[in-house]
Amino acid sequence: MSSVSATVFFACIHVHLYQYIYYNSLVGGVGGAYRNFELDYWDTSFREAMGYLNKNAKPGTTIMVIGSSRQAARLYAVPGLEVRSLQKLNKSQTQPYYLLSSTRRNGDLHHCDKAEIVAVVERDGGILAHVKKIDPGRNCK
């Protein structure tokens, strides 16, 4: 195996489950591509993020999803969690909820920036998705 092939092989092991996010060292790897190039454009990291929510969110909790992958989040949610699009947020909501966001197209930077990040899906220095706990009226406008 050539040294280039070995490098790519080990890099893919390092980002396993998300091999398609691999970037070479000219870009700085996945960490260098983070916020500069597309990483998890299929939102497959939502499965891992929903694993956190399935364990930590109480039944009846609302999970708001930023982006077009609400169906991916819903697919991995346990019964009892309500997965909704951010566009369907009730502005008068008073109960805490979670915000699941991909970092795709940096869309996560425009929502609830003061909210507590409670879970992160990260590989090789690049954040793919995160979960924020939202306390309406206090940390998200």
**Strands 97-102, 62-66: pairing kind:** parallel
| Local structure of residue 89 (DSSP, 8 states) | -
CB-CB contact of 30 with 125 (8 Å): yes
Most confident of 50-54, 63-67, 94-98, 122-126: 50-54
Give me the chain's average pLDDT, please: 83
Phi, psi of 127 (to 5 degrees): -85, 125
- The tokens describing 51, both together, are 């694993």
> Residue holding tokens 């369907």?
88
The 10s digit of each residue's pLDDT in 47-82 is 999 999 999 999 999 999 986 678 889 999 999 999
- What would the two tokens of residue 66 be? 């930023």
**pTM exceeds cut of 0.85:** no
